[in-house]
Structure 1
């Protein structure tokens, strides 16, 4: 084991400070020792140094940051047991309560080591003063870095306790959490549980020991983050009452109801935005998506819902946020523009995470939603090109169930068809790509929800895959110049973000997850009556007569007109060389050329992979397969014999 050369000099300096606190700190020596300490350092030295530093910090009369930095570096080679064995014992509580962010961070760095062992987690949990001090520091400190470190320590201890308790008990998650000592300390210790309410409540402003109203608003945001994380692990912990007298003092029934209903003053614009974001994050907890399995949901939770969504619905929060979007006049005009983004993010998340729940709404409500999106799309053509475009409306559209869009088209309310194919914007391209791509392919070809339910659900992965194909043909029928416009945008290197988004859309179509409905009966049994999809005979009317049978896959869609005559030639064409550009800005042009070339190459590889799986009785794909193989072999920048000229162009 090695002994750092500067170790004795540093300890001498620290001992001098102990004897005379006015002695200056030799920062240079501290930095030097920090660089010399390695894993091979004599193991007894870090313990000796930490013990000395723990005695020096309370008397130090200058910035403790250099000392704390050294201690943090040294402590990484010590376990929590070794830290606990230091004599005199380290006063973790005093360090947490110190008014120095550097000391706070150091002590948190030491305490988090306890998460490596269940015995150490239990030891920390038994120290109520320590846990309470960490909770207070996390919620009350003005230093965001220290607050995050305190939160990370709490969550590391809770997570370690959760995993160990689950393994030990082998029982239901709810029971194991209640038996975990760290979870018990926070949620079953009345004093600490009360801290979560009293520190964050505006009702306690001005009381002894309470932080200011401004600090409380910061603490509220921190608590909301905590509630979401805990709820993701166990919903009952945040939604159940632990101490009714504590909760009733703050007009609540649980920690969740306090955070969602009582804690925030919505006249504070920033906090109102944070609260809306909090609602959106709650939606993500146990969201069913396109699948639903009753065995995974409590019997009291309706089909296609979740405990979190039911909480929001029961307390009229869900309807309120949805109405904020459907009728913006319900918002204060002074704040409406600021609240619009989190409101639309909530609506988008709801549509994506609860598609079948959304489709159970009355037709009038669904039509209002489509009409609201259409209203947002009523902007000048120049604005579609240069912005700002209605990003939030596009996100909502891309999140809506595709079967709903197909159904809304029967009444001329399909917002998808209102998106212009020219001019193009990166946001519109991403929206179109998501819709045309279809749902993420499921490993199980049999829809879980269809297999377990008595009848067809409003939508499912297979229904969405069929609807995405239908929507592609409907859009192409309404915008016959779509593919020409896509290729035109892809070739404008000066607008590289739009060009790359155009190429990515091509790739999304190539890799699309589409399904063809074999018969009218198949269409009727795939979705519920209101959202029954059109049969193949009806869909075929959307394509040119010369096309014959419509493509069954996204890759096939590029091998027939109109994509065949514009997209394939573009993909096969050699990428532009640097010689195509005038002198000046070569660095930027090089970056744009390379980024676009690699995006185009990725699309080529995806197309080759898809075409290789296709079979053609007439052999009509042989030429395309050969060309694809040759072009892919050439790499992103084209044939090797052309690369030299590209490099020479850069040297001019």
Structure 2
């Protein structure tokens, strides 16, 4: 423990008490910075009960930009567990922070939720807080702030990895592009997965926030720009979820929800929605490009993950379906498959991806039989 006195600490406590009684008081930014810069792993712990409850109280009523307050709060939260954080910030307070227009308040709430990824028991506690989970999903998909969206995407993936009770499709270590799934991690209880995929309101909110059917500026709707951001965030987390629990994202407990947002009879699940029906390929060129990129990353993840035969058959059908309807994606898959540096696991995984033996021939797609070499000497673009 570091016993070195912290310069300005008493003055900061006095300033915080003034903010409690008079929330409109201007923040003394210099005083906050002076104290925060002196904090370290050795002296934070005794300061948590002295400062954090008061900071939380101020944040609930502070009318201006709270970034200075939240910066100090986030640093103080570093050694705090999820259960301890809940004693200082109620579920209602965290929901209000997630709903705040200030990105710093959003990040403070997400910092607390990140702590639930430290253990399966903590994610189980979070799963019971339906209102908090709903608010987190809305912030994740609807925030216009890139840092908040990226932090929420990473947090959601971490939470679901710890909570996963069915790592059947992730029984080998997987690591790529910053994503790591460890086969040695003990299984979770799956309660957060069930909250997302077996709770109608939560499950439906993902479709609603990402579907162009709800494009607009009314309550619960997102405008065109924000809709694209929401779609991109969902696409970025799909590969990680697929490697954790492929069954969860390819099946549905609410077929009426799937069908209301565009899926046809026999089509179901979040994966199919995201990869096949969600993106308006002709009207949103940037999102179409993102879809192509994320679909390839999804296939790369699955190619180095142990798969059951039904999963392989599902993936083959999905690739066939997508390739038949998306020339740009089809050409990208073909180019990768023909690249001699592409790992053989990727090339050999699906019979519908053209093999290197057909190099020099353009491929044509017949949805009923997969990919066939055409009678053309045009090189695959």
TM-score by length of 1: 0.47
For 1:361 and 1:93, the matched residues in 2 are separated by 46
Residues 200 and 263 in structure 1, CA contact (< 8 A), matched pair in contact too? yes
Which one of 207, 214, 217 corresponds to residue 225 of structure 2?
A: 214
Q: Judging changes above 3 Å, is the alpha-carbon distance between structure 1 residues 370 and 346 closer, same or farther for their aligned structure 2 residues?
A: closer
Matched, 1:80 2:82: yes
CA displacement at 1:212 relative to structure 2 = 0.6
Q: Judging changes above 3 Å, is the alpha-carbon distance between structure 1 residues 306 and 6 closer, same or farther for their aligned structure 2 residues?
A: farther
Alignment-derived partner of residue 373 in structure 2: none
- Structure 2 portions without partners, runs of 5+: 172-182, 364-376
Residues 276 and 346 in structure 1, CA contact (< 8 A), matched pair in contact too? no
Structure 1 range deviating more: 348-357 or 77-86: 348-357
C-alpha distance after superposition, 1:154-192 (max 9, x if no partner): 1221111126x769xx9xx9xx98951111111111111
Matched, 1:239 2:250: yes
For 2:314 and 2:188, the matched residues in 1 are separated by 19
Matched, 1:260 2:275: yes
Alignment-derived partner of residue 199 in structure 1: 209
C-alpha distance after superposition, 1:90-124 (max 9, x if no partner): 72111111111011111211221122122221111
Matched, 1:227 2:238: yes
Q: Counterparts of 1:19-418 in structure 2 under 5 Å?
A: 19-41=21-43, 43-86=45-88, 91-162=93-164, 180-206=190-216, 207-252=218-263, 253-267=268-282, 268-287=284-303, 297-300=307-310, 307-313=314-320, 315=321, 317-320=322-325, 344-345=335-336, 348=339, 352-356=344-348, 367=358, 369-371=359-361
CA displacement at 1:72 relative to structure 2 = 1.2
CA displacement at 1:84 relative to structure 2 = 2.4
Alignment-derived partner of residue 591 in structure 1: none
Q: Counterparts of 1:447-486 in structure 2 under 5 Å?
A: none
| Runs of 4+ residues deviating >6 angstroms | 87-90, 340-343, 357-363
C-alpha distance after superposition, 1:457-493 (max 9, x if no partner): xxxxxxxxxxxxxxxxxxxxxxxxxxxxxxxxxxxxx
Q: Judging changes above 3 Å, is the alpha-carbon distance between structure 1 residues 231 and 347 closer, same or farther for their aligned structure 2 residues?
A: farther
For 1:58 and 1:261, the matched residues in 2 are separated by 42
Quick check: which one's helix share is greater?
1
Higher relative contact order (CA 8 A, sep 6+): 2
Q: Rg larger in 1 or in 2?
A: 1
- Structure 1 portions without partners, runs of 5+: 290-295, 327-339, 374-412, 416-652
Residues 337 and 346 in structure 2, CA contact (< 8 A), matched pair in contact too? no
C-alpha distance after superposition, 1:175-223 (max 9, x if no partner): x989511111111111111111000001012353211122101111111
CA displacement at 1:10 relative to structure 2 = 0.9
For 1:42 and 1:357, the matched residues in 2 are separated by 51
Q: Judging changes above 3 Å, is the alpha-carbon distance between structure 1 residues 12 and 361 closer, same or farther for their aligned structure 2 residues?
A: closer
For 2:187 and 2:197, the matched residues in 1 are separated by 10
CA displacement at 1:77 relative to structure 2 = 2.8
For 2:354 and 2:238, the matched residues in 1 are separated by 32
Report how many residues are paired: 341
For 2:245 and 2:350, the matched residues in 1 are separated by 25
C-alpha distance after superposition, 1:288-328 (max 9, x if no partner): 79xxxxxx643446xxx564233221x2x23455x6589xx
For 1:112 and 1:370, the matched residues in 2 are separated by 49
For 2:279 and 2:329, the matched residues in 1 are separated by 21
Helix, strand or coil: the match of 2:280? Answer: coil
TM-score by length of 2: 0.78
Residues 101 and 146 in structure 1, CA contact (< 8 A), matched pair in contact too? yes
Q: Judging changes above 3 Å, is the alpha-carbon distance between structure 1 residues 106 and 355 closer, same or farther for their aligned structure 2 residues?
A: closer
CA displacement at 1:366 relative to structure 2 = 5.2
**Once superposed, what is the RMSD of the aligned Cα atoms?**
3.5
Residues 47 and 82 in structure 1, CA contact (< 8 A), matched pair in contact too? no
Residues 123 and 163 in structure 2, CA contact (< 8 A), matched pair in contact too? yes
Residues 46 and 77 in structure 1, CA contact (< 8 A), matched pair in contact too? no
